[in-house]
Amino acid sequence: MRDALATVQNDFLGKKPLDLVESDPRQRAWVEVSPQAVEANVINLKRHLAKDCELMAVVKADGYGHGAATVARAASKGGATCLGVATLQEGIELRNAGVQAPTLVLGNITDVEDLRACLYWELMPTLSSQSQVEICQQLAQESGRKFLVHLKVDTGMARLGCDLKDVPDLLDKVYKCSEIQLKGIYSHLALADGDLFGEAARFTELQRQRFDDVLKLLPKGSAGISRHLANSAGTLRDRNLHYDMVRVGLSIYGYNPLNQVGEALTLRPALSLKARVTLIRDVPAGVGISYGHKFITQRQSRLAVVGIGYADGVLRALSNRIDVLVNGEKVPQVGSITMDQLVIDITDNLNLEVGEVVTLLGQDGKNRVTPQDWSQMSGSIPWEILCGFKDRLPRLVI
Ligand SMILES: *Cc1c(COP(=O)(O)O)cnc(C)c1O
């Protein structure tokens, strides 16, 4: 078998197929990312902040699927002064890509070697325990370098951060460690993307008050310590949550997690999802489409197969629910979405041909499909949809 294949390859006269794949990421299905959109979103978000309030661009999970380094550079251009990642590895990848901006690791790092790597790569860890502080002090002494860190306090998320009662001792400890420089103190909101009134508003205010109480424990004149609480939703819902810096993820990518905002804010989605038609077929009425025959044609129909599926991040739960955009028109997806293909009904858009591009997410003409549309139809959230796009999809920076 192998020898036969080798012969075939040696006899191949045309352009090597691999080169084709490498030179054209738009062969089958791909994600297009607009750094200009990210930059514009950061600029518009910054207008919403007080003059000296900083914006941290949260680029975890490969920049919410957009490409972390691309987003980091665009956000910096727009005025972001700090970056947020979830893991040490994500931080190192940014450094290796040449991104130098101050970067906070939002996840909890406890291992000595991991903290050593943080110091080496000049990534700021999030500390919430005495033992982490001790390790950082030790590492800083060994290396002769200051260790820049942020402290995290839990004010009502019950996930990361130290308990409120432990804050005084922890602060005390940090201030006794001369090699540790406290660059920030923060907490995270649990209900900020909820209702603007009612329980979400009440609890967000409670978290704000608890955070205020924590800040009173900081020594007088503690300049240079950035106090931050708000994610995208917190940033957009209430200026009293802004403090010295806001940590914005979703909204730098162009989405507003609140249904209503007090004032108009222009955000432009930075991502489009596109794929090509790979086959077109005509079928009579009464034909079952795809696995399980979850769609039956009601009329003589023309169907197009699109080369993208749930292995790329198009959730199977969206089967029979979404429209894709074809030449600016909405076209319904029909039948179960499969691992690598989905079917659309083009009976009313007959001039579509094999090889043409359809837009699954993004703008085409006056129509737009967003991750928020998909989340409403699948019981997901836009965050999950954005970071669900797999490596199999090339990212194309436009
Ligand atoms: C992910 C994350 C953010 C950003 O959240 P968005 O809702 O996407 O703006 C902010 N802070 C922390 C601690 C996070 O983990």
Q: Output the CA torsion 316→318→319→320 (10° steps).
A: 180
- Per-residue pLDDT band for 220 (boundaries 50, 70, 90) equals confident
Q: Which residues are part of the catalytic machinery?
A: 60, 291
Question: What number does the ligand 1 atom closest to the CA of 383 have?
Answer: 8
Looking at the structure of the chain, the number of domains it has is 2
Q: Is residue 393 located within the same domain as residue 306?
A: yes
- Per-residue pLDDT band for 6 (boundaries 50, 70, 90) equals low
Q: Output the CA torsion 26→31→35→37 (10° steps).
A: 120
Residue to mutate, 106, 159, 381, ligand 1, most ligand atoms under 8 Å from C-beta? 106
Tens digit of each residue's pLDDT (9 = 90 or more) over 292-349: 999 999 999 999 999 999 999 999 999 999 999 999 999 999 999 999 999 999 999 8
263 within domain boundaries? no
Question: What number does the ligand 1 atom closest to the CA of 106 have?
Answer: 13
On whether the pTM is more than 0.85, the answer is yes
Q: Is residue 235 located within the same domain as residue 315?
A: no
Residue to mutate, 56, 64, 247, 372, ligand 1, most ligand atoms under 8 Å from C-beta? 247
Pairwise CA distance, residues 159 & 165, whole Å: 16
Q: Is residue 341 located within the same domain as residue 195?
A: no
Q: Is residue 214 located within the same domain as residue 317?
A: no
Range of the domain at 118: 35-253
Helix (H) or strand (E) holding 232: helix 232-237
The phi-psi region of residue 2 (left if phi > 0; otherwise alpha if psi is between -120 and 50; otherwise beta) is alpha
21-25, 193-197, 269-273: range with highest mean pLDDT: 269-273
Q: Is the CB of 66 under 6 A from ligand 1?
A: no
Of 356, 277, 362, 379, nearest in space to 323 by CA: 362
Q: Is residue 43 located within the same domain as residue 189?
A: yes
Q: Is the CB of 46 under 6 A from ligand 1?
A: no
Write down the pLDDT at residue 283: 97
Q: Is the CB of 245 under 6 A from ligand 1?
A: no
Q: What is the CATH number of the domain that holds 293?
A: 2.40.37.10
Coil, strand or helix at 208: helix
Give distance in angstroms: CA of 58 to centre of ligand 1: 6
Q: Is residue 288 located within the same domain as residue 170?
A: no
- The rounded mean pLDDT for the chain is 94
Contact call for residues 139 and 127 (beta carbons, < 8 A): no
Give distance in angstroms: CA of 248 to centre of ligand 1: 6
Tens digit of each residue's pLDDT (9 = 90 or more) over 223-253: 889 999 999 999 999 999 999 999 999 999 9
Concatenating the DSSP letter of every residue in 305-342 gives: EES--TTTT--GGGTTT-EEEETTEEEEEES---SS-E
- Per-residue pLDDT band for 60 (boundaries 50, 70, 90) equals very high
Quote the DSSP letter at residue 164. Answer: G
Q: Is the CB of 371 under 6 A from ligand 1?
A: no
Given 253, 281, 308, the domain boundary residue is 253
179 within domain boundaries? yes
